[in-house]
Each structure stands twice: as C-alpha cells, then as structure tokens.
A and B are shown apart, each in its own frame.
Chain A
Amino acid sequence: MAVAESIRRIDDYVWEIGPDFKEGMRVPARIYASEALVEKMEEQVLDQLTNVATLPGIIRYAYCMADAHSGYGFPIGGVAAFDVEKGVISPGGIGFDINCGMRLVRTDLTLADVKPKLKTVVDALFRRVPSGVGSKGALKLSRNDFRAVVERGARWCVDRGYGWDEDLERTEEKGSMGGADASTVSDRAMERGFKQVGTLGSGNHYLEIQVVKKENIFDEKAAEAMGIFPGQIVVMFHCGSRGFGHQAATDYLQRFLRAMPGYGIKIRDRELASAPFHSKEGQEYFSAMKCSVNMAFANRQVILHSIREVFSTVFGKSAEELGMHMVYDVAHNIAKLETFEVDGRRKQVLVHRKGATRAFGPGRDEIPACYKALGQPVIIGGSMETGSYLLLGTTKAERETFGSTAHGSGRTMSRSRARKMWRGDKLRGELEARGIYIRTASFPGLAEEAGGAYKDIDQVVGSVANAGISKKVVRFVPIGNVKG
C-alpha cells in the first residue's frame, strides 16, 4: 500500500496514518504539517514514523513535525511518548547527538552598532569558538573535572565563572539534569569528550548573529517581555554533546541490540533498538543520556561565555553593560519524564524528542518564573540564509503532542546532492553580497548547508503555529555566521 494513499486529513495541519497501515502498529501516526509539506515529505519519513508506532508501550500516536526528514530509526522531527511501566527507551528516538539544541542570547546592541564591526566580531568568534572536523580545546579540563561536568552540566560551568546564575534559570532542566551518573558512561566516551567542552562541531552546527526587524515581530508584548526590540542584534547557536554523546549513543545502541532478544522486543529497524525503560540497560542508558545532556548544556554554556567575552572585547563594554542576557536554551534530541493528562488522568510518561522541541504552554512548573505567564520559549533554527524563529509553547501542544513542536527547517536534499549544486566559496561570496558575512571551517560543508537544501522555514513555522502547537513571537534574519 502506498503511503500517500493512507494519509487521512484530520484538519488543515494535522494528518493521520491509521494502525492498519503496517503490521504491528500499536497506535496511529500523526503528522503536524501543511498540505504542501506533507505532499513533499519523503516516503522514508512515513515508513520510519510508522515503525516507531510499533514500539512497546507507545502512547496515543507516533508523531512527526512539519520539518521532518528521514533519519535512522526514528525520523528527524519525531516525537513519541512511552508508558513508564510497560514502555521502552530507544537511543534511536534521541539520536547520536544527544541534547543537540539551540541557545539564544539577546543584546542591547542595534544593527547600526554592529554593522561597522560585523567582520571583526564574526572573525573573533570564529577564532574563539573552535569548530569543524575534530575540533577541540576551548577549555582545558582534567578527566576528573570532566566527570563533574557530565554529572552537573551548566551548573558546573557557572560555579567556575563561565556564565551567570540567571543563565541556568533560562536553560531547559536548569542546565543540569538530575540522575546523571558518570559510571554508566564508557571510558571511551569520556576520552572522546573531555577536550571538547566549548566547541561547536561541524555539519549543521553554527553560531549566528541575527537582527530583529520591526516587520518580523508577530507578538509585540511577548517580544518585549523576552527583551526583544526592533533593530536589535541577537546571537543564536546550535550544537550538542560532541563526541561524548555520540560515543555514549554508539555504546548503548550495541548493548541494546544484544539485550533485546532477552526482552522479546521485535523491531523493524536495528536503529530502533530498545530496552524496557525499567530494565538495567534502560536505566543505565537513561543515566548515560543525562550525562550527555549535561555535557551539551555545559558545552553551550562555555560557548555563551566565549561569545560574551568576544562581544565585550570588540565593543569595549562588559557583557552586563551590553545586556547580553540569555533568552533561553532548548534541547531537541532528548528523552524526558514529563507529566501530561492521559485518558483523563495526570500521568508521567517518557517523551522522546528527536529533532523536536519541548513546547509547554503558560503555567507549567518547568518554565522559569520570567516566562511562566507567556509559555516556554521555543528556538527554531533556520538555514544560514533564511532566518530563524522564537516561538512560545502552548497548552494545546501539551494536550495534543505531549508538549512538542518542530526544531528547525529540515533538509530537502542529501548532503552530496547539495555539494553538487553549490560551491562553498561561491556561496560565501553570494551571501556576503546579500549582507551575510560567513566564516567556515569547511567550504564543502558550507555548500551542504545552503539555504536551498532546506525546507522553507516560514512554511514549517506557519504549520506548527497554525496547528496551534506553537505561537510566533519573532523571526530573526542572519547577518553573520560561523559555520562549523
């Protein structure tokens, strides 16, 4: 049966594939996207999504968001919640880059202040924040220090002067996920990660200087409450847990594959390797995942510190004087225990988000006091050419998608195809002519990240906003980019 024929419209932005589509589906699959995006969605995404629907203990639906593209195991843009007692945990539902996420920093600077010094500041950021293949060395840590980093996350960094206390308040999980026991992580993962705190990495990881245009503010009141104003410069960056998280995921994927037959779990794809959440393997992976989550929060915390120092040097004022407050930090590759209303009862479930962002509405305990009346900030990274968004989560998202929304643009073509279509050096020149100054560790890598290789961010955000699972606050336009 062709997938396209099996997709049923629920409303303009919600689509469903019934459980009769594939043998073993325990729940239907739901897609949150406009008709145009659903039509263009790869068949492989829908195949992967319906595979997720076969996993034991899955609750309500297997979801994918408007930015979905094919991954391995789960699609990127996938969300699935599992019963804590009867359900599984799956590294493939989180991804190798555990707690890959976005952080947004505001400033009091305007475009007029930054434009004359744009190249100086981008060049300085490129020098200060290591990026590219095998990048290392932003912070010299002993192995013991690194153990503390993975157990305490951004808290460890702030305690040592890499940031402000308020940064932690504005980070998902307050920058430090409890229950992270470093003994559940292999020496190999520790060895891979301990020189990488404060580094950007490569691929789709970037650090961007963006501008707020008056016409791109959709919710003035919310924008003002979040410290956003017309003409303002903000800094957004995207990176994760580096080699540490990648190795932890690699180790546990292999361990789960060996353990699964013992638990009688049947899967349709080895990348969906799963273990019962309460099994020894499940709990140890959950702890190792939390260590990786903390490594990523620490990584972004040290990068934030580097950004503040660079701006302070270039503009001759302290970061405090420049108003460089963090707006928020979101994780988009993670599994978390969260409470939702399920079948009329409040229930704790294990939500996997892989290339999807938490999007809680106003009032939730997890949201910092400064945003409690607004809802949780959601940071959506676009391609380096097209812009990015700040959204807010909604109560509807809590009701419908286990408090989840999209995470970015989503690719429309493979990396090798993008490299055939664009040349990195030429692209850099074209973007500079359009007012976007780029420094990159890799020109071929730059070509792979060309705006044309991604879905239209406005369509993606329009879909989740129209579906009511997020609210638009502001769209940011890039003027400077450090690409890993």
Chain B
Amino acid sequence: MPYEFLEDISRADVAFEATADSLEELMRDAARAVTETQVDIGKVQKRRERRISVEAENVEELLYKFLDELIFIKDTEQLVFCEFDVAVEEKAKTFRLRCRARGEKLHARHQPKVDVKAVTMHHFFVRREGGRWRARVVLDV
C-alpha cells in the first residue's frame, strides 16, 4: 500500500504514512493522500492539467512545500488532483520538484470529506530506510 492513514497520532487531525521505492513515488503518493483526505480521489476526473514546481534545501522541506502548494491551489483555484507525474532532481544542494498534476474543479460529485488547513510539522519526517523512502505527515483539518 503506497500510503496508509494512521489513527492515533492526533485526534483532531489526519495523519498518514507513505512508503515508496523512489523519492518521486513518495511525493506522488503523499500528494494522493492529501487529495484522498479531502475528497474521494476515485471520483476526480482528469479534465485539467496544472504544472507545479517547488524548490527546497532538503527532501523534508521539498515534501512540505509540495503539499502546501496543493492546499494553496485547492483554496485559490478550487482544483483537486488525482494523478501526479513527479520528477525530482538535486543540483548544487537544491532539490527541485516538477509535477504535472491532473484533476478538476472541486465538485459535490467528489464526495468531499474535510478541508485540509495546513501541513503540520508534528511527527513530520521524510527518510530513507532499508532502501525505501518513508514519510509521515499530519494534516491539520
């Protein structure tokens, strides 16, 4: 399972853990978990494509900024995404993420669940363990 929601990290909020073979897949799966927190991701259609680009000094900051950008786009453009093509490159101690996200405007047919307010730093990590990438994220909802 690429991501799993955790029950007892924080009672008022939503926590998930993602594991993946590559950093790109980890970013993609975490992005999917953010969509899944807010709507039924299976009901989101690929009507629009939006390019997203973030830069950071380390992989944790990269994931944080990427997810923060998705929340920003949800509030400002009312777009939610179901598919994410992610590329990550590291150059001169800077990580750059480029993503083509596909989805559409929020709609009642997506069976909305709960609005994500913010990515918290509570128990937040991105690390490489036994050859795989693992991340834990708590979302304030």
Contact = CB atoms under 8 A, between A and B. Distances in A.
B112 A72 contact: no
Nearest to B79: A134
Of the listed residues A72, A202, A445, A484, the one surrounded by the most CB atoms of chain B closer than 10 A to its CB is A72
Interface residues of A, number: 52
A123 to B, nearest CB: 15
B117 A246 contact: yes
Interface stretch (B18-26, B67-75, B85-93): B67-75
A191 interface: yes
Nearest to A240: B117
Contacts, number: 125
A196 interface: yes
B88 to A, nearest CB: 20
A70 B114 contact: no
A96 B13 CA distance: 12
Interface string B126-141: 0000000000001011
A247 interface: yes
7 contacts: A133-B74, A134-B74, A246-B71, A415-B13, A416-B5, A416-B7, A417-B7
Interface in A405-464: 411-417, 441-445, 448
A330 to B, nearest CB: 19
Interface of A: 42, 44, 69-73, 76, 95-97, 132-136, 188, 191-193, 195-196, 201-204, 243, 246-247, 249-250, 253-254, 257, 269-271, 273, 411-417, 441-445, 448, 484
Contacts of B138: 72
A188 B75 CA distance: 11
B113 interface: yes
B111 A269 contact: no
B106 to A, nearest CB: 5
Given A73-B122, A132-B115, A203-B115, A250 B11 contact: no
Nearest to B124: A270
Contacts of A95: 140
Number of contact residues on B: which range applies? 35 or more
Given A188-B72, A411-B11, A416-B5, A72 B117 contact: no
Of the listed residues A69, A73, A249, A416, the one surrounded by the most CB atoms of chain B closer than 10 A to its CB is A416
Contacts of B140: 72, 95-97, 246
A443 B111 contact: yes
Given A247-B118, A257-B121, A444-B111, 18 more contacts: A71-B12, A76-B12, A96-B118, A97-B140, A133-B74, A133-B112, A133-B113, A134-B106, A135-B115, A136-B75, A136-B78, A203-B115, A243-B75, A270-B124, A273-B121, A415-B13, A415-B14, A442-B112
B38 A271 contact: no
B39 interface: yes
Contacts of B68: 250
A191 B6 CA distance: 32
B94 interface: no
A202 B10 contact: no
Interface string B94-119: 00000000000010000111110111
Of the listed residues B12, B72, B111, the one surrounded by the most CB atoms of chain A closer than 10 A to its CB is B12
Contacts of B11: 42, 69-70, 411-415
B117 A271 contact: no
Contacts of A195: 76
Nearest to A97: B117
Contacts of B112: 132-133, 202, 441-442, 445
